[in-house]
Amino acid sequence: MRNHDEEMESYLKEFRPRAIRPLEQEPESPTVWLRRLAAVAAIVLAGGLSIWFSRRETTTVPQEASDPQPLLSIEFGPKVMNTFLLTKLALEDTKTFSAVLTEESRGVLPSLQGHESTLRILAEE
């Protein structure tokens, strides 16, 4: 075992440290500054557009307070109410929102009255 250690040490003594050479830098290509300029322009454009859209005032039509808003009804044809419109309606006019939910529930939920009611079928069992 001692012999192996001596062999290893003699092998390692063969290596001599060398001076460290300076790192070589590749020269920048002439188009690098164009890419950087394009990136900065895109960032400035995106920031400017976001500030412009956030500061832009929307024009609203003044509404008269004396005329009440008409209630939405199914009589005018089927209306597609998405989540955004329902949220807006709930925040602005709770009575109309309740009326819309009541009308929609009549078509979606099972009927509890009449000949085909759910309660009548359960009562027979």
Sequence spans of domains, the chain: 74-125
| pLDDT of res. 77 | 45
| Average pLDDT over every residue of 46-72 | 72
From residue 75, how far is each of 5, 15, 36, 72, 106 by CA, in Å?
99, 96, 60, 9, 14
Model-wide pTM > 0.85: no
Percent of the chain with pLDDT over 70: 74
The residue to which tokens 């109309």 are assigned: 96
| Average pLDDT over every residue of 59-75 | 57
